[in-house]
């Protein structure tokens, strides 16, 4: 007989305290990924838009929500810095004016008082009920898409969802990347991330949700693509 391990309930703030299910209905939203295609992009072009930044997006984007799911990354943002890069990133995190949000960890990890958590569901389904939670998948870019769907945003535009690295330069992100994550490891991860999007794309389309990839050169082919200049 398998012994069930109890989950410690998180008692901090939840994103539903500031955003309710469907509150972005009828409004467009931009998701800001980490792909190299955003190198040189002027963040001011998104001023006045509803935006969800992913992980390190807060470095230059004052997005409406900055979303993550990796507890190790959160720890990197709050523990004593080991170098100048970490110290600089932490300073930007402190001054970021938007809503800081993380997916609730299965262990019930206690995030800081400045974090609004999103409840996690383990069903491989799209959730339109933010009070219930979202299926966050295996990567923050996917979770951000599920979050935008629960807020009923449409169309949802993908920025920096490249799903590939710059092989000639061995670059993985428009920012400095993540500690201890090598190019080869990231390349393998991106293929798995891509599979997850492709698995859910038919379900998203069947619900009439518009998801549009604004990188014409993206390896993510399961959503229609448009030229960013036609949108911004």
CA dist 50 and 151 (Å) reads: 11
Half-sphere exposure of 163 (CA within 13 A, CB side): 24
Q: Where are the domains of the chain?
A: 15-230
Q: How confident is the model at residue 167 (pLDDT cuts 50, 70, 90)?
A: low
- Confidence (pLDDT) at 191: 80
CA–CA distance from 208 to each of 27, 134, 148, 211, 213 (Å)? 14, 18, 14, 9, 16
**Among candidate residues 161, 164, 124, 162, the one with its CA nearest the CA of residue 146:** 124
DSSP state letter for 4: P
CA dist 66 and 144 (Å) reads: 9
Provide the whole-model pTM: 0.89
Instruction: Report the SS3 class of residue 158.
Output: strand
Is residue 166 over pLDDT 80? Answer: no
CA dist 126 and 140 (Å) reads: 15
- Confidence (pLDDT) at 116: 97
Question: Largest alpha-carbon pair distance within the chain?
Answer: 59
Instruction: Report residue 120 as tokens.
Output: 């996690």
Task: Given CATH 3.40.50, say whether it is the number of domain 15-230.
Answer: no
- Confidence (pLDDT) at 221: 95
The alpha helices in the chain, defined as continuous H runs, are 71-78, 84-95, 140-150, 183-206
Q: Which residues pair with 134 in a beta bridge?
A: 120
- Confidence (pLDDT) at 188: 74
DSSP letter string over 75-131? HHHHSPPSSHHHHHHHHHHHH--SEEEEEPPTT-----TTEEEE-B--SSS----TT
Is residue 7 over pLDDT 80? Answer: no
Average pLDDT value over all residues in the chain: 88
């Amino acid at each position: 007989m398998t012994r069930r391990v109890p989950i410690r309930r998180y008692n901090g703030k939840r994103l539903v305290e500031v955003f309710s299910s469907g509150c972005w209905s009828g409004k467009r939203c931009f998701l800001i990924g980490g792909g190299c295609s955003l190198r040189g992009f002027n963040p001011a072009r998104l001023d006045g838009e509803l935006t969800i930044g992913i992980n390190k997006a807060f470095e230059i984007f004052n997005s409406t929500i900055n979303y993550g799911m990796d507890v190790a990354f959160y720890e990197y943002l709050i523990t004593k810095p080991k170098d100048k890069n970490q110290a600089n990133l932490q300073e930007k995190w402190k001054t970021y004016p938007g809503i800081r949000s993380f997916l609730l960890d299965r262990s019930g990890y206690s995030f800081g008082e400045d974090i609004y958590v999103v409840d996690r569901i383990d069903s491989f389904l799209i959730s339109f009920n933010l009070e219930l939670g979202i299926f966050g998948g295996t990567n923050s870019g996917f979770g951000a898409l599920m979050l935008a769907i629960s807020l009923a945003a449409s169309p949802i535009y993908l920025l920096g969802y490249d799903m590939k690295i710059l092989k000639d330069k061995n670059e993985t992100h428009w920012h400095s990347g993540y500690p201890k994550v090598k190019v080869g490891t990231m390349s393998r991860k991106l293929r798995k991330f891509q599979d997850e999007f492709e698995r859910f794309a038919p379900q998203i389309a069947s619900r009439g949700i518009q998801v549009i990839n604004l990188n014409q050169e993206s390896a993510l082919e399961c959503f229609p693509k448009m030229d960013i200049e036609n949108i911004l």
